[in-house]
Amino acid sequence: MTTSADPGTERLSPALRTEALEQLLTERGLVDPKVMDGFIANYETKVGPLNGAKVVAKAWTDPEYRARLLADGTAAVKELGFGGPQGEHIVVVENTPQRHNVTVCTLCSCYPWPVLGLPPSWYKDPAYRARVVREPRAVLAEMGLELADDVEIVVRDSSSEVRWLVLPERPAGTEDLSEEELVPLITRDALVGVAKVAAP
C-alpha cells in the first residue's frame, strides 16, 4: 500500500527542505554539524575569496594577465588553477573612478564559486536581489559604500550563462606592494562590488 506525500511538504521552500534534511541526518548521526559548519565557513571566507583575491592581485601587477582576464575571464582564471562547477562563463568587469560595477543574481544565486566561495546569505536574500537593481546607490550606501553622484553604477545580473566577477580599483598607496602583499587586502565584498578595497 502506498500513501501520498503530505501536500504541505511540497510547498516548503528549498531552504526549509534543506534544513529538515540536515536535521534528520544529524539526528541519525550521519552528519556532524560542527564539521559541516567548518566546511561552510572555509568556503565562505577562505578558499573561494582567497582565490578571487589572487586573481585580482595578479591582474593589478601583471598588465598582460589583466588584459587576458578582461578578454576571457574563464580562461584567465583557469590559468591560476581555479575552475570547476559554477566557474564556467566567468566574465570580469573593471571598476574605475567613473564606473562602479556591482553583481547580483535576480533569479536565484548564481555565483562564481571557484573564485568567491559560497555566496553570502545577503547575496541570496530576496531584498538584496530586488532592491540592488532598482536602487543600487541606496543599497550600496546601506552596506557602507558611499559613491559620488557622478559615478555611474552598473548592476550586472549573473545567470547560468554568465557569472560576473568585479575587478576592483587598486587603492592608492599600494604601488610598491607585491602580488603576495596585495592578496590579504582584497575582500569578497570588493569582488562582488558592494565594497572597495581599502588601502593598508
Catalytic annotation on 158?
no
Question: 157 pairs with which residues across the strands?
Answer: 104
Name which of 116, 108, 105, 109 is nearest 77 in CA terms: 116
Tell whether residue 121 is among the known ligand binding residues: no
Residue 168: half-sphere exposure toward Cβ, Cα within 13 Å? 27
Is 110 labeled as ligand-binding?
Answer: yes
User: Which stretches of 66-190 are assigned E, i.e. beta strand?
Assistant: 90-94, 99-104, 152-157, 163-167
Q: Cell numbers of 184, please?
A: 590579504
Q: How far apart are CA 136 and CA 127, in angstroms?
A: 12
Catalytic residue among 4, 13, 108, 160: 108
Assess whether 108 carries a catalytic annotation.
yes
Is 4 annotated as ligand-binding?
no
Burial of 72 (0-12, 13-18, 19+ CB in 10 A): middle
Q: What's the full length of the chain, in residues? A: 200
Q: 159 an active-site residue?
A: no
Residues labelled as active-site residues: 105, 108-110
List residues forming the annotated binding site. 105, 108-110
Would you list which residues are annotated within the binding site for Fe(3+)?
Answer: 105, 108-110
